[in-house]
Structure 1
Amino acid sequence: MIRDKFLPTEGIHNFRDYGGYTVSGGGRIRRGLLFRSGQHVAATDEDLAAISSLDIRTVIDLRGASERTNNPCRRGPAFEAHVIAYEGETTSSPPHMDVDPETSTAEFARRRMVAVYTRMPRNPAMIEMFGRYLRALDQRDGASLVHCFAGKDRTGVAAMLLLHVLGASRDDQMEEFLLTNHAPTLGVLRAQSVPGIEARLGRQLDEESIRALLEVHEDYLSTYVAEIEKDHGSVDSFVENALGVDEPMKERLRDRFVA
């Protein structure tokens, strides 16, 4: 179940199908329509050929403008998908690179990541992009791809929000979030991230700190949910009032993505 979710890639981290989960009331989220990944700046020609067969018609790029400029995604020759992106910055830096000079041990690295998830529920740019992501899934046909820099933090939250709307259990939402740690392409993310992190810090990171920044942990997503509940009372209220997903839209999404 774990490995068959990942598309074999050489230059893209964490490319996978995030369907397949059962939902309350019966049914299962369809496979082959919902994909997620890290950025495609290092995608190989073979990666692009594999992606071209997936009928991805919509790409939701959760990166900010400077991330897209510094790391332009490679596209196949037949790429025609509509790309949705934020016109400004979605964060000061990719979440896993949101570090300071104290980030020298795994404990500090994890604290930095928890701080990222504490701020994300109140980030206006991310609120807008999560809403645009869900509206795109409601309005556009074909398969979709949601991605950010690493495909684990902003993308992980986006996937969780959709799974919640579709009726997947909180345990399955967490399972999908943590599945990132089983991605066979961690070396891709490491090559794209660690040199920049260490340059910002002016020192080398120990292995535990690197893994704390490049992987995900249960307390990261739990923190995000707790902050949502603190501000909005429930994830349902946040989805409806902050993201604009009303009950008719929920029903349309369930009709489309649950079999």
Structure 2
Amino acid sequence: MNRIIPFQGTHNFRDMGGYRTADGRTVKYGLFFRSDELTALSAQDLTAFQALKIRTIFDFRDGGEARHKPDPAVAGVQNIRVSAVPEDQISRMNLPGAMQGRERSQHFIEDLVKSGFFKQFRANAYLLELYARLPINNPSYKRLMSLIQCPDNLGLLHHCTAGKDRTGVGAALILLALGVPEATIMEDYLLTNETMRAYNDMQLQRLGRHVDEAELRNIEQMLGVKEEFMEAVFGTIKMTYGNVDAYLAGEFGLLEEEREALQEMCLE
């Protein structure tokens, strides 16, 4: 099956099935999907979307993002949103989520440019800090990992704005629980650089007319994904818990029995 699902209104919509686990089994297709924002899905897209038999849309975005570009209401699909980035971090970093009273643009990078983010912060350093914080004591991922244990919630689509950072970590946690090796998880994560290449190149060309070269390179860092970002997730997990098994048990209550049940349901 084709992992990348082409829609007119998304750029990074993928089925997470087909990955092999450490014990030789394979993640079933049609259970877990990941994507960028969904607000631009066309009528044709929505027809194809319904054919995927998705029952749950899980949104990692904050309230401002979701109000500006709401998820579609699809018959038979439950929409759940729990922000993956704490409000205090949004405010401290002067990110678009904290832009009270300011008109938002059509792309989050434009909001970052307007907010002065790329003059004040280095995107690489910000993303490393973000990734290191995301997997620990995060209500959004706790809810996600609870949802995936109930078959009535599957297929489940989880997404954020670009489908790369918050969604990338969510995808990593699902695959870790299923027993997929870290090297394979990294492959899934880095695939975003391919799926988003044409769109990101277009954004860089457009924004390059309005910022200097240093800012443009900073924007380029923000648009992509790098191994060191996901390594920060794995590093935080091991530094805090020692190993993945202890992490999944401590953060999400996924003890051996629960993980076996989840894997029996989702692997073949």
TM-score under structure 2 length normalisation: 0.79
CA contact (8 A) 1:9 1:185 kept: no
Measured in 1, the distance between the counterparts of 2:131 and 2:196 equals: 24
Which position in structure 1 is the counterpart of 2:118?
103
| Amino acid aligned to 1:60 | F
Which position in structure 2 is the counterpart of 1:246?
255
Q: 2:244 aligns with which of 216, 235, 242?
A: 235
| Amino acid aligned to 2:12 | N
Which position in structure 2 is the counterpart of 1:222?
231
Measured in 1, the distance between the counterparts of 2:161 and 2:83 equals: 16
Structure 1 residues 163, 30: CA separation in 2 closer, same or farther (over 3 Å shift)?
A: same
Superposed displacement of residue 74, structure 1:
2.7
Which position in structure 2 is the counterpart of 1:34?
32
Aligned positions, number: 244
After superposition, residues 1-259 of structure 1 pair within 5 angstroms as 4-76=2-74, 79-86=75-82, 90-91=86-87, 92=90, 93=95, 101=116, 103=118, 108-122=122-136, 124=137, 127-141=138-152, 142-183=154-195, 187=199, 203=211, 206-259=215-268
Structure 1 residues 104, 69: CA separation in 2 closer, same or farther (over 3 Å shift)?
A: same
Measured in 1, the distance between the counterparts of 2:10 and 2:248 equals: 30
| TM-superposition CA deviations, 1:91-116 (whole Å, max 9, x none) | 524798678757359x9322221121
SS at match of 2:18: coil
The answer for unaligned runs of 5 or more in structure 1 is: none
Measured in 1, the distance between the counterparts of 2:201 and 2:45 equals: 15
Measured in 1, the distance between the counterparts of 2:240 and 2:82 equals: 24
Superposed displacement of residue 207, structure 1:
4.4
Measured in 1, the distance between the counterparts of 2:40 and 2:200 equals: 8
CA contact (8 A) 1:61 1:84 kept: yes
Task: Return 30-39 or 204-213, whichever deviates more.
Answer: 204-213
Measured in 1, the distance between the counterparts of 2:31 and 2:252 equals: 22
| Amino acid aligned to 2:140 | M
Structure 1 residues 119, 257: CA separation in 2 closer, same or farther (over 3 Å shift)?
A: same
Superposed displacement of residue 158, structure 1:
0.8
Measured in 1, the distance between the counterparts of 2:238 and 2:182 equals: 14
Superposed displacement of residue 254, structure 1:
0.3
| Amino acid aligned to 1:18 | M
Superposed displacement of residue 229, structure 1:
1.5
Superposed displacement of residue 6, structure 1:
1.0
Measured in 2, the distance between the counterparts of 1:189 and 1:16 equals: 20
Measured in 2, the distance between the counterparts of 1:250 and 1:210 equals: 39
Measured in 2, the distance between the counterparts of 1:181 and 1:189 equals: 11
SS at match of 1:36: strand
Structure 1 residues 14, 186: CA separation in 2 closer, same or farther (over 3 Å shift)?
A: farther
SS at match of 2:134: helix
| Amino acid aligned to 1:80 | G
| Amino acid aligned to 2:238 | E
Structure 1 residues 64, 54: CA separation in 2 closer, same or farther (over 3 Å shift)?
A: same
CA contact (8 A) 1:18 1:35 kept: yes
CA contact (8 A) 1:190 1:214 kept: no
SS at match of 2:168: helix
CA contact (8 A) 2:134 2:169 kept: no
Measured in 2, the distance between the counterparts of 1:27 and 1:16 equals: 20
Task: Return 212-221 or 21-30, whichever deviates more.
Answer: 21-30
Structure 1 residues 129, 82: CA separation in 2 closer, same or farther (over 3 Å shift)?
A: same
Superposed displacement of residue 168, structure 1:
0.9
Structure 1 residues 27, 48: CA separation in 2 closer, same or farther (over 3 Å shift)?
A: same
Superposed displacement of residue 66, structure 1:
2.1
